[in-house]
Amino acid sequence: MSEVHSDTPFVFVSYSHEDRNFVTRLRTDLQAHGIEVWVDKEGIQAGTPDWEQALRDAIHTAHAVLFIASPDARNSRYVKDELRMSKTNCALLNTTNVLSIPSGSQGTNG
């Protein structure tokens, strides 16, 4: 998914780039079940003038945020920022849409 389309349901994946292989498998599995996925490497167009705003927009319009809970993710300031934005968005919308998935979970193809 390369752009944020608020009329197309999608999930935002917050992860450490150290977990990219796991995220690639997870994204493939989700898409095989008809779930659109937004990840930073594909969601932010080259030359985007304000990538932080692109992240905020994606988080704001996502139907859910999947946090890939690995030691690397828990130590990433970027992931912490994404989670903070997600929690702020949840509070504004009075909803809970942040899901935590342990990195290396069973159930993905691989």
* For residues 67-90, average pLDDT: 83
pLDDT of 6 strictly over 60: no
Three-state DSSP string of the chain: CCCCCCCCCEEEEECCHHHHHHHHHHHHHHHHCCCEEECHHHHCCCCCCCHHHHHHHHHHHCCEEEEEECHHHHCCHHHHHHHHHHHHHHHHHCCCCEEEEECCCCCCCC
When comparing pLDDT for 45 and 90, which is higher?
45
Q: What value does the mean pLDDT of the chain take?
A: 76
Which range has the worst mean pLDDT, 47-56, 60-69, 75-84, 95-104?
A: 95-104
pLDDT tens digits, residue range 21-49? 999 999 999 999 999 998 876 766 767 77
Q: Which domains does the chain have, with CATH numbers?
A: 10-102 (3.40.50.10140)
pLDDT for position 99? 54
Does residue 13 contact residue 26 with C-beta atoms inside 8 Å? yes
Please name the amino acid found at residue 54: A
What six digits make up the tokens of 22? 């796991």
pLDDT for position 85? 83
- Alpha-carbon distances, residue 94 vs 10, 42, 84, 86, 97 (angstroms): 19, 29, 15, 12, 10
pTM of the model: 0.71
pLDDT for position 28? 94
